[in-house]
Amino acid sequence: MIYLDNAATTKMFDECVQTFRTYSCDKFFNPSALSIASMDVQKDIAKVSKFLLEKIGANVGDIIYTGCATESNNLAIKGSMRNGAWEYVFSSGEHPSVYNVAKKLEQDGCLVHFVPLKSDGTCDLEELKKVLNEKTRLISIMHVSNETGAINDLAEISKLKQQFCPKAVLHVDGVQAFMKIPFKLSQTLVDLYSFSAHKIHGPKGIAGLYVKNKGALKELFQGGGQQFNLRSGTENVAGIMQLQTAVSLIDVEKNFENVKNLKNAFKKGISSDGVVVHDFDGSPYILNLMFFGVKGETMLHALEEKGVIVGLGSACSAKKAGNRILEEIGFSKDEIISSVRISFNAYMSENEVTDAAKIISDVYADIKRRVQ
């Protein structure tokens, strides 16, 4: 099997399995208990948090551990809300775990602004300027698009925040950027940053939210007061430690260059007429293909029979018709229906991606012959 849907999830590193065993069977203690063994586990978690802050280039702040990026995004947005005539700003290109929260805020009577995307898939910063003001409470704009790989400029967005609404909270969904593209949060004004383990060869069920200032958030539910009273409940210790294991095995810069080479080799290997490669010149991990005259879903199933796994976009909305992001960028309905998402990981070989490109080209040519 050649797996090209790594933006949906990734295969877990073997080393994470041993970490899970250690912290589930040996160091299984509850970090909130008062035994020495429990306090040692609590210290281990604190070390992971310090380690992650260093990895994202944050000089100050804390890490809140959650069960998934959806929870991190919900905590960031709903936890930032305050009573009063505040305004909330989102890009139109957000993942469903942000976009659907924004729509719910709108339904509940909040003043919500959706900033359109440019043709390159990034948030239109000129339009962003128009909606920012002293009443802006929250800005939520993703780092890397899960659909196109387009990278939003956090430094420029930070400048706009400082200019028009310095007291606003800036949240970034960093799921497709964390440990994939080089960045330092210290070079931005980001207050909240979401990330997830299973996108970087860690386990499902553990994610995080970087919080620069805990006072900017309120708790969403009550409990034992763990994690600064912002996310009560016993921590998923084994998951947290597996997250550390996965992060420690990743060389971001080396992987970034490797994936660029893989993507270029893949693009060169696509040979069939009628296949349009859309490279938004962003993250090398994500690429969009459109197949003239053939549905993307048809290609997905035909390729699976040949041992190649691709995606139709966000796994959180794959069962819904259309693609909100591609439509926002300006693609037609026919183009959207004919598209698939290709997403790489840094541990693939060049032979794998060139073989996949040949299979994709051959399968498309075969389907096109049969339907014409």
pLDDT in tens, 162-176: 999 999 999 999 999
Query: Domain end: 223, 248, 273, which one?
Result: 248
Q: Is the pLDDT of residue 321 over 70?
A: no
Answer yes or no: do 302 and 328 share one domain: yes
Answer yes or no: do 205 and 306 share one domain: no
Give this prediction's pTM: 0.95
Q: What is the pLDDT of residue 320?
A: 53
The domain spanning residue 150 has which CATH number? Answer: 3.40.640.10
Query: Domain end: 228, 248, 268, which one?
Result: 248
Distance CA(328)–CA(326), nearest Å, equals 5
Sequence-distant (6+) residues with CB within 8 A of 212 are 58, 60, 61, 190, 191, 192
CB of 292 closer than 8 Å to CB of 274 = yes
Percent of the chain with pLDDT over 90: 92
Q: Is the pLDDT of residue 317 over 80?
A: no
CB of 180 closer than 8 Å to CB of 257 = no
Q: Are strands 308-309 and 2-3 parallel, antiparallel or unpaired?
A: parallel
Sequence-distant (6+) residues with CB within 8 A of 60 are 212
Number of domains in the chain: 2
Answer yes or no: do 74 and 105 share one domain: yes
Q: Is the pLDDT of residue 318 over 50?
A: no
Half-sphere exposure of residue 251: CA atoms within 13 angstroms, side-chain side: 7
Answer yes or no: do 135 and 33 share one domain: yes
Choose, from 25, 110, 165, 316, the residue flagged as catalytic: 316
Mark whether 316 is an active-site residue. yes
Measured CA distances, 226 to 65, 139, 230 (Å): 10, 27, 7
Distance CA(186)–CA(331), nearest Å, equals 36
Answer yes or no: do 259 and 175 share one domain: no
The per-residue b/e assignment along 102-132, b for 16 or more CB within 10 angstroms, e otherwise, is beebeeeebebbbbebbeebbbbbebbeebb
Answer yes or no: do 303 and 169 share one domain: no
Structural domain of 37: 14-248
